[in-house]
Amino acid sequence: MQVSENTENKEFKPLIVAFCCNWCSYAGADLAGTSRLSYPAEVKIIRVPCSCRVNPMFILKAFEKGADGVIMCGCHPGDCHYSTGNYYARRRMTLLFSMLDYLGIDRARTRVEWVSAAEGQKFSLVMNDFAKTVTELGENIKLGDLRCKKQQD
Amino acid sequence: MQKTAGLIKKRVLELLADGTVTKVLGWKEGDFIYDVTPASFLSAQEADGLVYSSFCGANLSKYLISECKALTEGKILALLKPCDTYSFNQLLTEHRIDRDKVYVIGVGCKGMLDIEKIKAMGIKGITKVIDNGKELDIKTIYGSKTCKREDALLEKCLCCKSKNFKAFDEIIDPEPETKEEKADRFAKVSELEAMTAEERYAFWQEQLSKCIRCNACRNVCPACSCMKCVFDNPVSGVSSKANTDSFEEKMFHIIRAFHVAGRCTDCGECSRVCPQNIPLHLLNRKFIKDINELYGEYQAGEEVGSRAPLADFTFDDAEPSVVNERGNS
Amino acid sequence: MKKIEKAKLNDLLARLAEASTLYLPVRKGGKVNFAKWTKDEEYCADELKTVKSAKDVFFPQSENIVSFKRESSKITILPKELPTDRTVIFGVRACDAKSFDILDSVFMSEPADSFYTARRNSAVIITTACSTPEETCFCGVFGIDPANPGADIQTWFVGEELFWEALSEKGKALTEELSDMLSDADEKEVEDEKSRISEITKQLPLNGLSLENFGGDKTNELFDAAQWEKLSQSCIGCGTCTFVCPTCQCYDIRDYDTGNDIRRYRCWDSCMYSDFTMCAHGTNRPTQLQRFRQRFMHKLVYFPANNNGEFSCVGCGRCVSSCPISMNIAKVIKSFGGDNK
Amino acid sequence: MQRIGVFVCWCGSNIAATVDVDAVVEAVKNEPGVCHAQNYQYMCSEAGQGLIKNAIKEHNLTGIVVCSCSPRMHEATFRKTAEQAGLNPYMVEIANIREHCSWIHKDKKEATEKAVILARAAIAKVNLNTPLRPGESMVTKRALVIGGGIAGIQSALDIADAGYPVDIVEKSPTIGGKMAQLDKTFPTLDCAACILTPKMVEAAQHPNINIYSYSEVEAVTGFVGNFDVKIKKKARFVDEKKCTGCAVCTAKCPSRKGGNEFNCNLDNRGAIYIPFAQAVPNVACIDSTRCIHFKTGKCGICEKSCSAGAVNFDQKDEIIEQKYGAIVVATGFQISDVTKFDEFQYTKHPDVITSLELERIMNAAGPTKGTLLRMSNKEHPKDIVFIQCVGSRGNTCRDKTYCSKICCMYTAKHAMLIREKYPDVNVHVFYIDVRTPGKNFDEFYRRAVEQYNVDYIKGMVGKVWENEEGRLTVQGVDLLSNRRIMLDTDMVVLAAAIEPSEGVRNIATMLTASIDTNDFLTEAHPKLRPVESPTAGVFLSGVCQGPKDIPETVSQAGAAAVKVVGLLAKDKLVTSPCTANANELMCNGCSTCERVCPYGAIDYIDKEVNDHGKREVRRIARVNSALCHGCGACTVACPSGAMDLQGFSNRQIMAEVDAICK
Amino acid sequence: MSEDIIAISGINPRQCMKCGKCSATCPAFEEMDIHPHQFASMVVEGRIDELLASESIWKCLSCFACVERCPRSVEPAKLIEAVRVSVLRERGGSFLSPDEIPAKLDPELPSQAIAAAFRKYRK
């Protein structure tokens, strides 16, 4: 299947997957909601117990299935609910992102942010900014399974 | 090399005879000098086929996983080149082999040859290669050819980790540590890093699109010792048998490199065996380079029991955004 | 017999590519494989053997065979159209040409594989004689003559010219289409080339292998032979030999959920893999010895048993040069007394 | 295939105003596994839960998806609902279409689409859910209190009174903590010793309390209900059982050059000492770093003078191993380092002191026997300047960002006590704000101003220097009159910030309890679980959790005790089933998971496995589900994917990814 | 205008908790009409014209005592400097000549003030 290039007329809406740690970022997202701080609906959150639960395979899987950007949010270093999880996550993601960059994948399509349960505003700002960045990058064609691209009809 | 081979054979026969070992893991001669096969030898008679030549690049340490399991009595003798001992240690660290069951003979190595490189020089129909130390005398069905030995070295030997053995019970004919400057093993990685993202993408697209998903890189890799690989596991969510889309070859190679990151000793077997000559070692070396730069120098297999960088952290590790601050985008 | 100057070969390829999809050996990322030809690609005429054989033109490594689409509770089945565009494969060697016969007997006997058959029927195969056979070649063992590669059209590179001989009806028709580019030629030069090739072939170290201990009736003798253990002990269970092999034809069928539909595709599989023919109860060949034995027994015993004595190996030697541990069919044949030199 | 019911909540208009709930119901009806979908105004209401229960029974549902508010809000509610209808509670998933959708999006179409996708992700997950059953573990009915200050004493007394044995581990030779050093307490001005020492004695005499003084916690392993603790009882070189506390030895000790910590080093003590007269236990202790016997092998005067024969130079550190069900951290605080504030001349001039030092000077048992004297010349002061917020409320490297909370009140107390006792002394207080929330607190402060004429100056002190007369000149500013203030004074008292005790980081690490950037222990929830650490079985008492005064500390100590008692009253604990689990056929036994587990929950066993008929002994990982908290670090460390997390399995998360990316 | 001062100084004056430590520590306090601690709140309130007209900006010695002591990282000297720079920018080329400096000097001022002042007025 060929991806239609006739996308200019439509406003490009990226698909963004956000992995959020249950103890901080997910709660931060809740707080953003409670505070009515909006961010684009393209951002879809997946709850994980800790940022260290995020397997690089999940991130690649999201790209495979057509995500245009993947962001992982965890507790600030030092604040992990499980004391050390985000430190491991930080190394894993650093290396993974570096590898994606090495393969020539747009480096701005992946991001890690530390957002606490109290940072509803930060969550909203981060998501707005990330969505903006990914929108500017346009559709992800370098790292996706072409079979999963939606037909642009 | 022939001298070394003789010494090895002599010692192997002694150890088999006195019962120190019951099985020997080494290399068996093939049809054309260059096609030696890893093999085990149970008796003096069998050991007749044991060779040690410039084409013994294959790393035997991974065979020890199954050999240790199967061994019921005595010890298994493993012939390990200096670089192979790193893999051996890494396997010990991961409890995949039993040190007590293995008798390691470290065998000196001058650097192993890559028949693919010789063939790529346009030398065809090779029936014999005579290693004169500096030059190679190559017999072919189209006549004799010569080439410089250094031009035919395996990629891993160009930047030899060490001539020293990191594990051994005894050593035969060790080589002195080379004095001349070794090639920078990260040179190509740095070169890629300096390219633009588009150039990098084009490079890897061209290379990885050759992948036929034969799994040779994975199956030969001493770090890929999983009972069941995620890519073979139908419930893993990522299993696949073929590169049905260019995504899958990326997925496979990224995840494979990630799974061995911090455990890969840079033994270079993946690149050596790839039928399509994909420079897979450049993926592993990227991780090694990143680890060294971000978390401090680390050589997997240098010592048994060392903590892999991905199972470790410091409070002030670099943030993932460091990726955005380096090199070309 | 026709001929064309080598210098004009690119024009000929361009012509072929206009009217059909043209596959030939091209170099990508340093390695030569059959691929679709475009004007920017260079035909690697000097490469004796591509890494993969030409079989994936007819039997691709993976291909969708049907899709399923689900809307509300209704499932629509979307069959894939059969490929009927004319395909030309250029530069096929004698061994690969022969391998198509073997694959045909698998895929085109009843029930025929419609995808394979459709592609095969709409293809014209142009072979090229092997001017420089290599030490890994042993096609002669299977009665293949690299000097007379056969198929629809066979060609020879001699000096600065390519000699061209149409053999089949399809070949003749295509030659007719190209008649303005081809000129008539004398067979003398080709005959010289053929005898030169034959001379080389005689010297090939593996060409003297004997298959007398193999064949459809040897199952009982060979199955439990002691040799298998030593032969298979260092096999790492990868699929290199299978995937570079022109005659291996096993595949798996899998489903892929794209999110919009389900694609059912088939992809090459290797009997060397530990999960080959995995069933609910596990695998029926749990050891590498069994898997290793299966591959060679299939090529040298089971296949001939079911196909009038035809071995399913063409002696291309790809596995000989690409096996990570240098274990191969030649060594297997030798260990069963096939070293007749 | 599951039989899934989807329940879309309107949350009044909170969801329904932005998300077309009917459209969501329609959209999910055809998702795989869904056999029932409906919406309702308030799913969490009695009636809403009733709908769910009925649907479970009527449609024989095996899984539930509730599209509603955050799972952090009502996941527990709906799990209970499911359980009441006979469904395993872990077959419930929540799609958060309120906080993550209706509340942040305005466009109804967009919000509805997103709600459908979130619902699909939850459905995809439930399709892979399996019923999970919580595990059980036994509870050791004994509590450990780390720290023997007022917080620790109070917690211990309350737990002991409820009938459970308690051990107090105190690092110094006596319990009592900081409160024992105080002279009077605000706002009632009663003497600290008079109210504290009876409690110390009560603790010492309580049949359920055992005090390990001069001891430290060495190692903690285990988990809630089952902590294994190693306590190091440091050698005090005096037999506790024999020593009568007569203090003859302490008077005779010839080594008298070292400072007396109890009096903030304003005077000296012997190498053998009892910190203060009311110490509990009232037993001497030899400071081996100062003792002449330990330095030269000679002396031994204490040994000779002890009629009870209690001195024992050969005593060794002793390790005590004990099991506990619960641990209370009551490690308290210390005064932050004021030497960084060189503008106040603390290190240069003896008349610049901290408030705690002033407490000792004012105390009858202190270095001046309770007479207010300048430390430089032992003369009576005429003027005293108090400087507030030294090291608190700043954002530079010298400061703590927080308010130390107690300084305003104790400064008012000091000012008042001085004016009361020495009406000739002028007292000036430089403050930024005076913070006096608390019962009778502001009244107390006003009394200092109105009745005792304490001079409160709003503005900070810029610097202090010794003037030609040998007194101190204080340069400040009065912000209310916007003029420069230059005051000559005899003493300067710094209200230094308080900070968590030095060793708390180490203790937190042993307990795997988290601490914040200021090293205060983190509470499980800042409002609703303020005395619990996020680490189950670890409770917080006193200033280790945050600055607080004595009444607050005592309240929290009691609250922590209640939590401990509540825990110890149980015979068995239910453990979360969302723990890691190794697939033994896939496990390589490589030990990577063990290395990343923060709880030491993973060990390895050699076990015979049956791999599709192939039997062999393999080294495989084993997870102690009582120890596992379910973070998932091991699942990613595991290359083969043998390690997976129940409730958040690889497949479940990937199914969510797939559903979202559809 | 407040924004300009904030941008030039790089300071967030809202961090000020009005403790007055800057004024308390300022050696030129008595010379000033508007005191250092007032700068922060006046910038917040937008009273920039008063600051521009203030003598204080010429009295500040740039000794950085306030910067050193400020517990909230407000660093009033930077705010003062920003106001001063604004004035200088307004004035364009007409800087004070070195000859005018002695008249502005106060014999009571420490020598560092002279150096600071000269740096300030030079050109």
Q: Which residue among B237, B260, B308 sits closest to D650, beta carbon to beta carbon?
A: B237
A65 interfaces chain D, CB cutoff of 8 Å: yes
Contact at 8 Å (CB) between D200 and D153?
yes
- Cβ neighbours of D589 in B, within 8 Å: 94-96
Q: Which residue among A38, A44, A83 sits closest to D104, beta carbon to beta carbon?
A: A38
C256 interfaces chain A, CB cutoff of 8 Å: yes
Tell whether the model's pLDDT for residue B243 goes beyond 90: no
Across the interface, whether the CB atoms of B233 and D637 are under 8 A apart is answered no
Stretch D325-345: mean pLDDT: 95
Read off the pLDDT of residues D505-526 as tens digits, 9 standing for 90 and up.
889 888 877 778 799 998 877 7
Across the interface, whether the CB atoms of C263 and A147 are under 8 A apart is answered yes
- Cβ neighbours of D76 in A, within 8 Å: none
Tell whether the model's pLDDT for residue D338 goes beyond 60: yes
Q: What is the pLDDT of residue B214?
A: 92
Read off the pLDDT of residues B204-226 as tens digits, 9 standing for 90 and up.
999 999 999 999 999 999 999 99
Tell whether the model's pLDDT for residue E115 goes beyond 70: no
Q: What is the pLDDT of residue B245?
A: 76
Contact at 8 Å (CB) between D154 and D196?
no
Contact at 8 Å (CB) between D180 and D152?
no
Cα distance between residue D540 and residue A77, in whole Å: 22
Do residues B266 and B313 both lie within one domain? Answer: yes
Q: What is the pLDDT of residue D333?
A: 97
Q: Please, what CATH class does the domain formed by D334-499 belong to? A: alpha beta
Nearby residues of E123 by Cβ (< 8 Å), 6 or more positions away: E95
Across the interface, whether the CB atoms of D632 and A41 are under 8 A apart is answered no
pLDDT classification of E122: cutoffs 50, 70, 90 = very low
Looking at per-residue confidence, does D643 or E97 come out higher?
Answer: D643
Stretch C258-264: mean pLDDT: 89
Across the interface, whether the CB atoms of C233 and B39 are under 8 A apart is answered yes
Nearby residues of D210 by Cβ (< 8 Å), 6 or more positions away: D165, D166, D167, D168
Same-fold call for D143-176+212-232+319-332+503-568 versus D580-645: no
Across the interface, whether the CB atoms of D103 and A49 are under 8 A apart is answered no
Instruction: For residue C242, give the 3-state DSSP assignment.
Output: helix
Cα distance between residue C171 and residue C16, in whole Å: 13
Tell whether the model's pLDDT for residue E100 goes beyond 70: no
Cα distance between residue D639 and residue D651, in whole Å: 15
Nearest residue in D to A83, CA atom: D514
Q: What is the pLDDT of residue D143?
A: 98
Do residues B129 and B194 both lie within one domain? Answer: no
Tell whether the model's pLDDT for residue E120 goes beyond 90: no
Looking at per-residue confidence, does B282 or A9 come out higher?
Answer: B282
Nearest residue in C to B205, CA atom: C29
Nearby residues of D241 by Cβ (< 8 Å), 6 or more positions away: none
The CATH T-level fold of domain D4-126 is Rossmann fold (3.40.50)
- Mean of the per-residue pLDDT values for chain C? 91
Read off the pLDDT of residues C277-288 as tens digits, 9 standing for 90 and up.
888 777 888 889
Which of D11, D68, D99, D128 is the best mutation test for A, with the most CBs of A within 10 A?
A: D99
Tell whether the model's pLDDT for residue D490 goes beyond 90: yes
- Mean of the per-residue pLDDT values for chain D? 94
CA distance A115 to chain B (A): 14
Q: What is the pLDDT of residue E88?
A: 77
- Cβ neighbours of C286 in D, within 8 Å: 612-614
Nearest to D302 by CA among D240, D238, D258: D238
Tell whether the model's pLDDT for residue D355 goes beyond 90: yes
Q: What is the pLDDT of residue E94?
A: 45
Q: Please, what CATH class does the domain formed by D143-176+212-232+319-332+503-568 belong to? A: alpha beta
CA distance D583 to chain A (A): 17
B239 interfaces chain A, CB cutoff of 8 Å: no
Across the interface, whether the CB atoms of D613 and C73 are under 8 A apart is answered no
pLDDT classification of B133: cutoffs 50, 70, 90 = confident
Do residues B145 and B168 both lie within one domain? Answer: no
Q: What is the pLDDT of residue C340?
A: 60
**B124, B272, C323, D159 from C244: Cα distances, Å:** 19, 16, 10, 75
CA distance D652 to chain C (A): 15
CA distance E24 to chain D (A): 4
Cα distance between residue D621 and residue D607, in whole Å: 10
Looking at per-residue confidence, does A109 or D135 come out higher?
Answer: A109
Domain boundaries, chain A: 16-142
Read off the pLDDT of residues D203-248 as tens digits, 9 standing for 90 and up.
999 999 999 999 999 999 888 899 999 999 999 999 999 999 999 9
pLDDT classification of E117: cutoffs 50, 70, 90 = low
Q: What is the pLDDT of residue A42?
A: 94
Tell whether the model's pLDDT for residue E123 goes beyond 80: no
Domain boundaries, chain D: 4-126, 143-176+212-232+319-332+503-568, 248-305, 334-499, 580-645
Tokens of residue D460, six digits: 């900070």
Nearest residue in E to D390, CA atom: E71
Return the ∠ at Cα D411 (arms to D407 and D412), rounded to 5°.
Answer: 120
- Cβ neighbours of C237 in B, within 8 Å: 215, 219
DSSP result, D360-401: HHHSTTSTTTT----TTT-PPPSEEEEEEEESSS--STTS-S
Lowest mean pLDDT among B189-203, B230-244, D270-284, E59-73: B230-244
Q: What is the pLDDT of residue E114?
A: 56
Classify domain A16-142 by CATH number.
3.40.50
Token pair 């401990």 is found at D564
Domain count, chain B: 3
Read off the pLDDT of residues D512-570 as tens digits, 9 standing for 90 and up.
777 787 999 988 777 778 999 877 899 999 999 999 999 999 999 999 999 999 999 99
Tell whether the model's pLDDT for residue B88 goes beyond 90: yes
pLDDT classification of E98: cutoffs 50, 70, 90 = low
Read off the pLDDT of residues B21-43 as tens digits, 9 standing for 90 and up.
999 999 998 888 899 999 999 99
Across the interface, whether the CB atoms of C260 and A66 are under 8 A apart is answered no
Nearest to D305 by CA among D356, D260, D359, D248: D248
E32 interfaces chain D, CB cutoff of 8 Å: no
Do residues B147 and B105 both lie within one domain? Answer: no
Do residues B210 and B139 both lie within one domain? Answer: no
Domain boundaries, chain E: 2-94
Nearest residue in D to B91, CA atom: D590
Cα distance between residue B233 and residue B248, in whole Å: 15
Return the ∠ at Cα D535 (arms to D533 and D536), rounded to 5°.
Answer: 100
Which chains contact A through at least 3 pairs of Cβ atoms less than 8 Å apart? B, C, D
CA distance C80 to chain A (A): 12
Contact at 8 Å (CB) between C326 and B273?
no
Classify domain D580-645 by CATH number.
3.30.70.3270
Nearest to C139 by CA among C91, C94, C90, C73: C94
Tell whether the model's pLDDT for residue B328 goes beyond 70: no
Strands of the D166-169 sheet, one edge to the other:
D209-212, D166-169, D143-146, D326-329, D538-540
Which pTM was predicted?
0.76
E40 interfaces chain D, CB cutoff of 8 Å: no
Q: Phi and psi at residue C84, in whole multiples of 5°?
A: -125, 0
Lowest mean pLDDT among B228-242, D75-89, D136-150, E62-76: B228-242
Do residues B305 and B196 both lie within one domain? Answer: yes
Tell me the β-bridge partners of B76.
B23, B102
How many other CB atoms are found less than 10 A from the CB of residue C58? 23
Tell whether the model's pLDDT for residue E101 goes beyond 80: no
Tell whether the model's pLDDT for residue C341 goes beyond 80: no
pLDDT classification of D496: cutoffs 50, 70, 90 = very high
CATH superfamily of E2-94: Alpha-helical ferredoxin (1.10.1060.10)
Tell whether the model's pLDDT for residue E95 goes beyond 80: no
